[in-house]
Amino acid sequence: MKRLFVGFVALGALALAVWPALADDAANEALARRFYTEFNARNFDAFAEFIAADIVDHTGGPDMAAGVEALTKELQGFAAAFSDMKIENDMVLVSGDYVTVVSTAKGTNDGKMMEMPATNKPVDFKAIDVWLVRDGKLAEVWHVEQLLQMMTQMGAMKPPAAN
């Protein structure tokens, strides 16, 4: 009986030690998921609530402006090019302060994208985002998408030649 009691005490101590990490993982996952929810709703004003003011977007290279305003402007331009774009989370993986999201984006290119006129063609492509959470906000992001597939679907590029 004493062994059983000691076992329960040890299990309880382990649970208490692990619980904060699990709570952090859940909170970090919720932050990342909120990004896609707010993007899909085109609620860009909400970004400042959960994205760090000085967020670093590693996607565009060293010349990419940092900050939530720059990220918001970039995403507003993308949303204008694909007014019906929705992003669905296919997989969310959390490891401490990092949240990786594999998603599918679907929409119609019904607006100007950079200097390209609208093609009115549908797109359906995958993307991967890795978010770093710091002080309860999304602080950094690395974004990779199937750009070649998207541009081919829009008719902006020819499909790769078959081997």
Residue at 159 is within a domain: no
Residue at 163 is within a domain: no
Kind of pairing between the strands at 51-57 and 137-145? parallel
* Domain extent at residue 115: 2-154
Residue at 118 is within a domain: yes
Residue at 161 is within a domain: no
d(CA 53, CA 135): 12
How does pLDDT run across 20-71, given as a tens digit for each residue?
444 589 999 999 999 999 999 999 999 999 999 999 999 876 667 889 999 9
The number of folded domains in the chain is: 1
| CATH code of 61's domain | 3.10.450.50
How does pLDDT run across 127-137, given as a tens digit for each residue?
999 999 999 99
Residue at 162 is within a domain: no
**3-class secondary structure, 4:** helix
d(CA 84, CA 122): 10
Residue at 67 is within a domain: yes
Residue at 108 is within a domain: yes
Residue at 160 is within a domain: no
d(CA 157, CA 163): 18
